[in-house]
């Protein structure tokens, strides 16, 4: 009678990986992750950078919504899905860890969010005339006695007058964080 040999070519590893991913709620967050807790940067007007980012994304009673995070992911939806599929294939093949894949996605799309604000088409609606005049004033004669730009004036010169950029702190605060072990 013949002998039957059962060889596991990775099925058990895949099952363990699937269980781990589901149990640990593995994901990456991209944006201004300031939650307003201790250590959050408080601006001169008393709000945190995270609060400002939310106000700009969704609007307030006096400020129109200027979606910049949502716009980025709306435009890149198919690219995000493609990247996720490709990276999942690498995870399944054992080429990279889940943590590495999440960090690749976080780094790429945090840069994309920043680029949405600093490059290409302006985020709509445009700045009010009073805001535009104030921002344009930041590009002229704003150096200290040593020839350096005064605090808060470098962003206007680096990016020009753009919607959502004043001091550059909000866009500079865009980052990512990974959650769940996914090891």
Tell me the pLDDT tens digit for each residue of 87-130. Answer: 999 988 889 999 999 999 999 999 999 999 998 788 888 888 88
The answer to whether the beta carbons of residues 30 and 104 sit under 8 Å apart is no
pLDDT at position 176 = 95
Tokens of 41: 């940067």
Taking each continuous run of H as one helix and of E as one strand, the counts in the chain are: 8, 2
Closest CA to 164 of 55, 76, 88: 55
List pLDDT tens digits, range 7-64: 877 788 778 878 877 777 888 999 998 766 655 667 677 888 888 999 999 999 999 9
pLDDT at position 142 = 59
125 preceded by a cis bond (ω within 30 of 0):
yes
Closest CA to 122 of 110, 138, 139, 135: 135
Strands (E), the chain: 27-32, 174-179
State if pTM tops 0.95: no
Q: In the chain, what are the domain boundaries?
A: 12-122+163-179, 127-162
Residue 183 has pLDDT above 60, yes or no: no
């Amino acid at each position: 009678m013949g002998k039957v040999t059962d060889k596991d070519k990775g099925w058990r590893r895949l099952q363990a990986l699937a269980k781990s991913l589901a149990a640990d709620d593995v994901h990456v967050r991209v944006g201004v992750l300031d939650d307003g807790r201790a250590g959050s940067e408080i601006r001169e007007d008393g709000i945190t950078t995270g609060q400002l980012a939310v106000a700009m994304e969704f609007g307030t009673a006096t400020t129109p919504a200027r979606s910049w995070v949502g716009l980025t992911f709306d435009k890149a939806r198919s690219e995000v899905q493609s990247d996720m599929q490709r990276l999942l294939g690498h995870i399944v093949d054992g080429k990279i860890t889940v943590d590495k894949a999440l960090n690749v996605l976080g780094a790429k799309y945090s840069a994309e969010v920043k680029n949405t604000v600093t490059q290409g088409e302006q985020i709509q609606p445009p700045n009010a005339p009073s805001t535009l005049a104030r921002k344009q004033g930041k590009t002229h004669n704003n150096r200290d006695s040593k020839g350096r730009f005064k605090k808060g004036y470098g962003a206007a010169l680096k990016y020009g007058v753009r919607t959502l950029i004043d001091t550059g702190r909000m866009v500079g605060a865009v980052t990512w964080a990974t959650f769940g072990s996914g090891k």
